[in-house]
């Protein structure tokens, strides 16, 4: 396992992922050095052969379908997304209402225990933990998806510019990207979130998105460069196709494979980073809107006597992040020609 | 009897003057910190309208670099291109990037070796054809679609309506190459460069594709530059053959001359190494010994000398010049003579392997098969 804090291992990982977008089957001339002997590869007239091109996706999917790791990841993320969408209807109680506040005794019993209707008990404000966990999934989903989306859009712009234009644009963009990549991501996100005057859900999203921009930028630039050297882009250039069409029709769509993989993985890190920022008090200060990281932070005070208060949100964060990671990693493996047998 | 169709065609072409004229083309790759490498070294040849010209040579001799230079597709940095590429008298190498982009696809088309990787995997075939029509003929997607369908039909793709929406991976290798030809010819370029168009295909499909190319260029009067490492491929197709070795043309001639009477030891070697599908009684392939890594520098020798079957002293001391003589040209101090040539039976001498390929061609050309040539 490479050290995730080492910026070079981070870059290597991005670059090897980007390489999967390249030409997977460059075939040289089939001539033999000793003479003009033609070696024909067998290719029948009527049938469609597979193993290359889009069928690469098909064969990837065939392997994924039988991969228990991927299926587990898929199951977790699907359940998570469904719960997040239908949270208000699934939650038995209003997460903001202190329904058990009468049970709370500041000195003797700050945390009401579990009871019928309140399977996980309540917090120190008497609010139902189970409902708060369910509704909290919404924030987590929003932060994870929005941060990934903004990071992706930023990286898409920078990476496409760098990969399509090359030259000094490329040098400039990549210098900035490399500097950003060399800073540990959580530290960077923390610094950005700390700058914001009034912390909110949006400062968290923006901080995490900014951290993801260089990752996506480097990744897209790498896969754009691989595309630029590909046969079909050369063929399109040989047809006089305009540069914008080369970039948007011939390069970008073919460079998206690794980006989708990365996006899946980034959702996981965004969720963890968002939880970390909330835990450290840089998230939404309004705790009527439940959020797992913030619940975890609030549980600190009671960690010795009531560890369950911390365990539940922590478990949610871990399981959901794990779900996205399992899915992303098995996608990456399936799309990477090097890991194929 | 001497007035063959080919001769008539050649004469007709001469009247028209060359459409594309490559003059002293020299391509040098210069990477910082590396020795400059001359991939194409003073190559000149003409292509007339309707003519098919072959560019033949082993892998690495500079065929693809020549074609990319003509198309203006070589990278701008680290490459020096000298000489002229005259299209209708205008030097393409002097055009700006944008001007050249307008010419590609419209005046000059190119098809590549690997039909699968040359097609965009995520765009349907139909769009890849209409794209060219939209670009060069200013048509709308809607107006271009029927023309695209016609093009697919013309290149022999069955059920073109359905194929318009198919993706490249849904087509077989031969169909993909047909689609590529349709795309390359969509805007009706007057010069088509085919860089090893059949190398990645199986032999029977090779024959079909070659027959198709021949038919298309004959119908439309398109000039075709056929690039291949396999003399057998050009045997039934080209009017003139240029044999390339280490970036230089070493022999040139009309097809039947060159096949009947090869003069350069390299051409001779290439002819002897063509495999025979008819399995002629105990005939063995004699590949040219050595490899291009043995080459001597052209500046002070014949690059082919270390691999040549009959080098003489001067071959390692001096560069042979390309000497034009009538319809032929030769760069050699000690050409193959009749005695060596007759060392093989006339039957064995001709590249019989081309028969199955030629079988697919229209047979109206009596010179269509070099095996028909009487040895002289
Ligand atoms: N971009 C490049 N940079 C440096 N050398 C190149 C480049 N492209 C081709 N070459 C060299 O030029 C020579 C001719 O290549 P090419 O024209 O592709 O040969 P072929 O006749 O097989 O098509 C080869 O030795 C090759 O290594
Ligand atoms: S010049 Fe000499 S070495 Fe070169 S091909 Fe002719 S005979 Fe052989
Ligand atoms: Mg080549």
Q: Given 3-state DSSP classes, what are the helix, strand and coil percentages for chain B, each rounded to the nearest 5? A: 40, 20, 40
Q: How far apart are the CA of B280 and the nearest CA of chain A, in angstroms?
A: 16
Between residues A212 and A102, the one the model is more confident about: A212
- A42/A133 same-domain check: no
Give the domain CATH number at A118.
1.10.3720.10
Beta bridge partners of A7: none
A59 inside domain: yes
Q: Which residue among A31, A44, A254 sits closest to B172, beta carbon to beta carbon?
A: A44
Between residues A210 and B343, the one the model is more confident about: A210
State which of A33, A65, A97 marks the end of a domain.
Answer: A65
Between residues A286 and B261, the one the model is more confident about: B261
Check B206 against A236: CB less than 8 A apart: no
- A49/A163 same-domain check: no
Residues of A in contact with B168 (CB under 8 A): 53-54
A1 inside domain: no
- A31/A111 same-domain check: no
A16 inside domain: no
A277 inside domain: yes
pLDDT of residue B233: 81
Q: Report how far apart, in Å, the C-alpha atoms of B158 and of each of A165, B16, B161, B172 are.
A: 40, 36, 9, 12
- A50/A116 same-domain check: no
Q: Report which secondary-structure segment, H or E, holds B23.
A: strand B20-29
Contact yes or no for B40/B270 (Cβ under 8 A) = no
Domain boundaries, given as residue ranges, for chain B:
115-188, 248-347
Q: Which residue among B58, B102, B172 sits closest to A36, beta carbon to beta carbon?
A: B58
A4 inside domain: no
Whether the CB of A240 is below 8 Å from some CB of chain B: the reply is yes
pLDDT of residue B348: 41
Q: Which residue among A29, A43, A53 sits closest to B202, beta carbon to beta carbon?
A: A43
pLDDT of residue B344: 54
- A150/A56 same-domain check: no
A8 inside domain: no
Percent of chain A past pLDDT 90, that is, above it, reads 16
- A48/A76 same-domain check: no
For chain A, positions 39-58, list CB contacts with chain B under 8 A: 40-50, 52-55
- A202/A259 same-domain check: yes
- A135/A243 same-domain check: yes
User: For ligand 2, atom 6, which residue shows the shortest CA distance?
Assistant: B332
Q: How many CB atoms within 10 Å of residue A117? A: 11
Check B136 against A240: CB less than 8 A apart: yes
- A138/A269 same-domain check: yes
Kindly provide the b/e burial profile for residues A40-64, where b requires at least 16 CB atoms within 10 angstroms of the residue's own CB: beebeeeeeeeebbebbeeebeeeb
Q: Report which secondary-structure segment, H or E, holds B80.
A: strand B79-87
Report the alpha-carbon distance of residue A110 to residue A9 in Å, rounded.
Answer: 46
Domain of A214, in residue numbers = 69-339
Quick one: CA dihedral A97, A102, A106, A109, positive or negative? negative
A182 inside domain: yes
A35 inside domain: yes
Domain count for chain A, please give it.
Answer: 2
Of the pLDDT bands very low, low, confident and very high (cuts 50, 70, 90), residue A337 is: low
Contact yes or no for B370/B351 (Cβ under 8 A) = yes
Ligand with minimal distance to A229 CA: 1
Per-residue pLDDT of chain B (376 residues; tens, 9 = 90+): 444 444 444 444 445 678 999 999 999 999 888 889 999 999 999 999 989 999 999 988 999 999 999 999 998 888 999 999 999 989 999 999 999 999 999 999 999 988 888 999 889 999 999 999 999 999 999 999 999 999 999 888 999 999 999 888 888 888 999 999 999 999 899 999 999 988 888 888 888 888 888 888 888 889 999 999 888 888 888 999 999 999 999 999 999 999 889 999 999 998 887 765 554 544 556 778 888 888 899 989 999 999 998 999 999 999 999 999 989 999 999 998 887 777 654 444 444 444 444 433 333 444 444 443 333 3
pTM of the shown model: 0.78
- A245/A145 same-domain check: yes
Contact yes or no for A302/A309 (Cβ under 8 A) = yes
Report the alpha-carbon distance of residue A211 to residue A283 in Å, rounded.
Answer: 16
């Amino acid at each position: 396992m490479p050290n995730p804090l080492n910026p070079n291992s981070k870059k290597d990982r991005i670059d090897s992922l980007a390489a999967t977008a390249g030409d997977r089957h460059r075939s040289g001339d089939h001539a033999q050095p000793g003479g003009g002997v033609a070696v024909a590869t067998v290719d029948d007239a009527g049938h469609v052969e597979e193993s290359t091109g889009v069928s690469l996706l098909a064969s990837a999917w065939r392997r994924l379908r039988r991969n228990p790791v991927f299926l587990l990841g898929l199951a977790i993320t699907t359940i998570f997304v469904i719960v997040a969408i239908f949270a208000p209807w699934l939650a038995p109680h209003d997460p903001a209402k202190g329904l058990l506040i009468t049970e709370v005794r500041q000195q003797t019993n700050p945390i009401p225990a579990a009871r019928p209707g309140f399977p996980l008990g309540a917090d120190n404000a008497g609010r139902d933990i189970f409902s708060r966990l369910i509704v909290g999934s919404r924030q987590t989903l929003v932060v994870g998806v929005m941060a990934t989306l903004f990071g992706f859009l930023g990286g898409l712009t920078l990476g496409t510019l760098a990969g399509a234009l090359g030259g000094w644009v490329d040098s400039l963009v990549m210098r900035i990207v490399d500097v950003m990549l060399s800073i540990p991501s959580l530290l960077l996100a923390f610094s950005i979130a700390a700058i914001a005057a009034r912390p909110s859900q949006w400062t968290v999203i923006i901080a995490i998105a900014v951290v993801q921009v260089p990752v996506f930028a480097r990744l897209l630039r790498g896969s754009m460069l691989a595309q630029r050297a590909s046969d079909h882009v050369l063929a399109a250039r040989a047809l006089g196709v305009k540069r914008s069409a080369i970039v948007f029709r011939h390069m970008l769509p073919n460079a998206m494979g690794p980006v989708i993989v990365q996006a899946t993985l980034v959702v996981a890190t965004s969720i963890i980073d968002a939880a970390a920022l909330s835990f450290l008090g840089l998230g939404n200060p309004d705790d009527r809107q439940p959020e797992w990281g913030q619940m975890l932070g609030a549980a600190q005070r009671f960690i010795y006597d009531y560890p369950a208060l911390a365990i539940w949100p922590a478990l949610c964060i871990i399981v959901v992040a794990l779900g996205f990671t399992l899915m992303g990693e098995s996608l990456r493996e399936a799309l990477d020609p090097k890991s194929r047998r | 009897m001497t007035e063959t169709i080919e001769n008539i065609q050649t004469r007709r072409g001469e009247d028209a003057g060359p459409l594309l004229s490559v003059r002293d083309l020299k391509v040098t790759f210069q990477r910082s910190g590396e020795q400059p490498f001359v991939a194409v070294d003073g190559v000149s040849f003409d292509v007339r309208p309707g003519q098919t010209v072959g560019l033949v040579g082993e892998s690495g001799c500079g065929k693809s670099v020549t074609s990319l230079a003509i198309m203006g597709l070589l990278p701008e940095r680290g490459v020096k291109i000298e000489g002229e590429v005259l299209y209708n008298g205008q030097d393409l190498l002097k055009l700006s990037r944008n001007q050249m982009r307008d010419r590609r696809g419209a005046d000059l088309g190119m098809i590549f070796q690997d039909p699968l990787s040359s097609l965009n995997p995520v765009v349907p075939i139909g769009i890849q054809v209409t794209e060219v029509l939209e670009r060069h003929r200013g048509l709308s997607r809607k107006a271009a679609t029927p023309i695209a369908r016609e093009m697919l039909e013309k290149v022999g793709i069955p059920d073109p309506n359905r194929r318009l929406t198919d993706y490249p991976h849904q087509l077989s290798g031969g169909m993909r190459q047909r689609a590529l030809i349709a795309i390359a010819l969509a805007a009706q370029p007057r010069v088509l460069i085919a860089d090893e168009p059949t190398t990645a295909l199986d032999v029977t499909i090779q024959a079909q594709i070659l027959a198709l190319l021949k038919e298309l260029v004959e119908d439309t009067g398109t000039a075709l530059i056929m690039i291949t490492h396999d003399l057998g491929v050009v045997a039934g197709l080209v009017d003139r053959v240029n044999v390339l070795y280490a970036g230089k043309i070493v022999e040139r001639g009309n097809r039947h001359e060159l096949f009947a009477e090869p003069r350069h030891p390299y051409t001779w070697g290439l002819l002897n190494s063509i495999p025979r599908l008819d399995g002629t009684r105990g005939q063995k392939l004699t590949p040219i010994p050595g490899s291009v890594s043995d080459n001597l520098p052209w500046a002070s020798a014949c690059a082919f000398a270390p691999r040549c079957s009959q080098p003489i002293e001067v071959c390692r001391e001096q560069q042979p010049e390309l000497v034009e003589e009538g319809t032929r040209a030769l760069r050699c101090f000690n050409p193959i003579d009749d005695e060596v040539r007759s060392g093989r039976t006339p039957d064995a001498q001709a590249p019989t392997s081309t028969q199955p390929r030629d079988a697919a061609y229209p047979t109206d050309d009596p010179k269509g098969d070099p095996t028909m040539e009487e040895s002289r």
